[in-house]
């Protein structure tokens, strides 16, 4: 569940407008907070929690949230729950988080009502109770919170704590969508694409995926890329449009989008020309985001000098990343480089270990290599 520090955004703007220097800003905030101004207590807590203009200090954040909570402030109580839920400067404690979330939720604070739903749904900090989860999500939705509507919709779609009801799911997703909730828009798109409670309508699904992507959902951009890549509803594939949306997915942080772009440019397809340099560029982006197959591909490219200058040290780096995650082919290539001393690094013991890992993972080349070299 996302946490939103609403007071921080508004008050920071006022802060920049009203004070002459950073030091006087902080002095004024502290004076106001010490004088009992709850909004300034919240702002000071937010600043310390986020490290905005100061060194991050989660203990100070908790101190000021606690002072605000002592004045019966629901937002502060919710944020204390968030701190305990995520172990920010304290030992992670879902039971303590649940206690604070409940305090806040019972005051009608919508975000924490949604958090209560999540705790009951997952059984964290309390016994799992799907009906109770749905009840809290509904309270959050009644407070006009977009994630409340989103979760009510999801519970009805999945039949959790209630009989599945796609019409009710769609109704709630659309309410969340009115608040520009990109996840809800993606849910609506999926319902139209797969015909859940509605007739299959790929064009309508694409409309909702576009709205979702424009609201920051990388998966929706990727889904548009997928649909354009394969074609839809009598339309032929449109590879340029597919690339456009995969690039959007990449910009929104999707490692998978970069990996797919790497595949497209590595071989070329339709009106997209083969471009090994562009393939390498995208694979590297995906690899740095932890995408294991991309780490293997980047290792290969550096080993073979395709799209990049041949560099065994870089090949070793990326093969190691993938091999440590259990990628058998990466382990095999890494082992052979080390065993044969390519690039000036010879380590037959470690090389043999990686080759054996590759063979154990089903790599036939490694198995044959072991026979030849009697490993």
pLDDT at position 2 over 70? no
pLDDT single digits (tens) 354-374: 999 999 999 999 999 999 999
Spatial neighbors of 170 by CB under 8 A, at least 6 apart, are 153, 188, 191, 197, 198
pLDDT at position 10 over 80? no
Residue 18 domain boundaries: 1-107
Asked if the structure places residue 310 within a domain, the reply is no
* pTM exceeds cut of 0.95: no
Q: Are 206 and 238 in contact (CB under 8 A)?
A: no
Asked if the structure places residue 94 within a domain, the reply is yes
Asked if the structure places residue 212 within a domain, the reply is no
pLDDT single digits (tens) 105-136: 999 999 999 999 999 999 999 999 999 999 99
Neighbours of 300 (CB within 10 A): 16
* Res 19: pLDDT: 45
CATH code, 50: 1.25.40.10
Asked if the structure places residue 82 within a domain, the reply is yes
- Count Cα atoms within 13 angstroms, Cβ side, for 276: 10
The mean pLDDT of 226-247, rounded to a whole number, is 95
Asked if the structure places residue 75 within a domain, the reply is yes
Angstrom distance (rounded) from CA 269 to CA 266: 9
Angstrom distance (rounded) from CA 230 to CA 278: 22
Asked if the structure places residue 31 within a domain, the reply is yes
* Res 253: pLDDT: 98
Angstrom distance (rounded) from CA 188 to CA 202: 12
pLDDT single digits (tens) 278-312: 999 999 999 999 999 999 999 999 999 999 999 99
Number of domains in the chain: 1
Asked if the structure places residue 9 within a domain, the reply is yes
Give the CA angle between residues 116, 43, 75 to the nearest 5°: 20
Where do the DSSP E strands lie in the chain?
none
Instruction: Report helix angle 74-86 to 110-122, nearest 10.
Output: 30
List C-alpha distances in Å: 152 to 104, 209, 363. 20, 20, 47
Asked if the structure places residue 46 within a domain, the reply is yes
List C-alpha distances in Å: 202 to 35, 207, 220, 284. 59, 9, 13, 33
């Amino acid at each position: 569940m996302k946490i939103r520090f609403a007071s921080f955004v508004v008050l920071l703007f006022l802060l920049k407008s009203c004070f002459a220097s950073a030091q006087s800003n902080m002095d004024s905030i502290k004076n106001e907070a010490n004088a009992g101004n709850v909004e300034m207590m919240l702002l000071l807590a937010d600043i310390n929690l986020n490290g905005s203009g100061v060194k991050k200090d989660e203990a100070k954040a908790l101190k000021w949230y606690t002072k605000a909570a002592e004045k019966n402030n629901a937002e502060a109580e919710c944020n204390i729950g968030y701190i305990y839920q995520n172990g920010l400067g304290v030992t992670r404690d879902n039971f303590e988080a649940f206690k604070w979330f409940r305090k806040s939720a019972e005051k009608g604070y919508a975000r924490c009502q949604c958090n209560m739903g999540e705790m009951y749904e997952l059984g964290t900090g309390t016994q799992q109770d799907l009906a109770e989860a749905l009840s809290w999500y509904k309270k959050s939705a009644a407070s006009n919170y977009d994630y409340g509507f989103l979760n009510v919709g999801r519970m009805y779609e999945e039949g959790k704590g209630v009989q599945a009801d796609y019409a009710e799911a769609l109704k709630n997703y659309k309410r969340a969508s009115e608040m520009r909730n990109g996840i809800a828009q993606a849910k609506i798109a999926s319902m139209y694409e797969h015909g859940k409670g509605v007739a299959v309508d790929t064009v309508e699904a694409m409309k909702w995926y576009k709205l979702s992507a424009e609201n920051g959902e990388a998966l929706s951009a990727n889904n548009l890329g997928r649909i354009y890549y394969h074609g839809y509803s009598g339309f032929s594939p449109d590879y340029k449009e597919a690339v456009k949306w995969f690039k959007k997915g990449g910009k929104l942080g999707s490692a998978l989008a970069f990996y797919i772009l790497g595949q497209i440019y590595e071989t070329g397809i339709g009106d997209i020309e083969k471009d090994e340099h562009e393939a390498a560029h995208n694979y590297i982006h995906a690899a740095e985001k932890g995408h294991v197959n991309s780490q293997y591909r980047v290792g290969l490219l550096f080993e073979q000098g395709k799209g990049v200058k041949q560099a065994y040290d870089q090949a070793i780096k990326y093969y190691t990343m993938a091999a440590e995650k259990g990628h058998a082919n990466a382990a095999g290539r890494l082992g052979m480089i080390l065993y044969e001393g390519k690039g000036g690094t010879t380590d037959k013991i470690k090389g043999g270990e990686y080759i054996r890992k590759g063979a154990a993972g089903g790599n036939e080349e490694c198995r044959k290599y072991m026979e030849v070299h009697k490993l």
